[in-house]
Amino acid sequence: MKRIPSLFTASVAALVLAGCNQAAEAPAEEAAASTGLQSLPISINASMVGITDQSADFIWAVGNGDLPRDDHDWDQVRGAVYDMILTGQIIKIPGTGEFDAQWAANSDWQGYADELTQIGQDALPLAEAKSEDVAAWRAIGDRLVENCLACHELFKPEVPSQGILHEDTERESRGISIFD
């Protein structure tokens, strides 16, 4: 439990203002140890499409100037940021995919995955403040693109291992808001 004191000394103000966010700050190993989670019930490919890509779409939307219009929209953005923080840790745990175990065991993979979590952590204050600083969101989005591309270049098979694909975000490509 050595993270407790540092959490208190480093983030008392944040905790008081924003409530408890220990889960977001817990290292992966500790999370895995405390839940005993050794494997996931779905593939990394499915997590990638369902959580990683899904959450990235909202972060990129705001960076592209598609700003949330009300608290409901901001709720979606904040949820996407939480998902991004989580997905970096989720894809470090092998699931049911053919190559999951070998990917998760690779140190480059682990590094890129941790970076996703870090980018999410860096976006969280913006989401919590409902920041309309498009340039700041765009900077986060740019870091995300680089992260996705770098990992895909190293690991993504030419033919998706399971055929689980994500459709292009058609609304965004047609200039229609991601928000309902």
Among 116, 123, 124, 178, binds ligand HEC (CB under 6 A): 116
Binders of ligand HEC among 67-96, rule CB under 6 A? 91
Between 68 and 94, whose beta carbon lies closer to ligand HEC? 94
How far apart are the C-alpha atoms of 180 and 168, rounded to whole Å? 17
Q: How many CB atoms lie within 10 A of CB 21?
A: 17
If one asks whether residue 143 binds ligand HEC (CB under 6 A), the answer comes out as no
Report d(CA 147, CA 60) in Å as an integer: 13
Q: How many residues does the chain have?
A: 180
Query: Taking the complex as a whole, how short is the minimal distance between the CB of residue 173 and ligand HEC, in angstroms?
Result: 14
In the set 11, 118, 131, 161, which binds ligand HEC (CB under 6 A)? 161
**Contact between 155 and ligand HEC (CB under 6 A)?**
yes
Among 138, 131, 35, 158, residue whose Cα is nearest residue 74: 131
Closer to ligand HEC by CB, 7 or 140: give it. 140
One of 58, 74, 112, 179 touching ligand HEC (CB under 6 A) = 112
Closest approach, Cβ 9 to ligand HEC, in A, equals 31
| Contact of 99 with 64, CB cutoff 8 Å | no
Non-local CB neighbours of 109 within 8 Å, separated by 6+ positions: 91, 92, 103, 151, 154, 155
- Asked if 144 is part of the footprint of ligand HEC (rule: CB under 6 A), the reply reads yes
Contact residues: ligand HEC, CB under 6 A: 45, 48-49, 52-53, 56, 91, 97, 103, 109, 112-113, 116, 144, 147-148, 151-152, 155-157, 160-162, 165-166
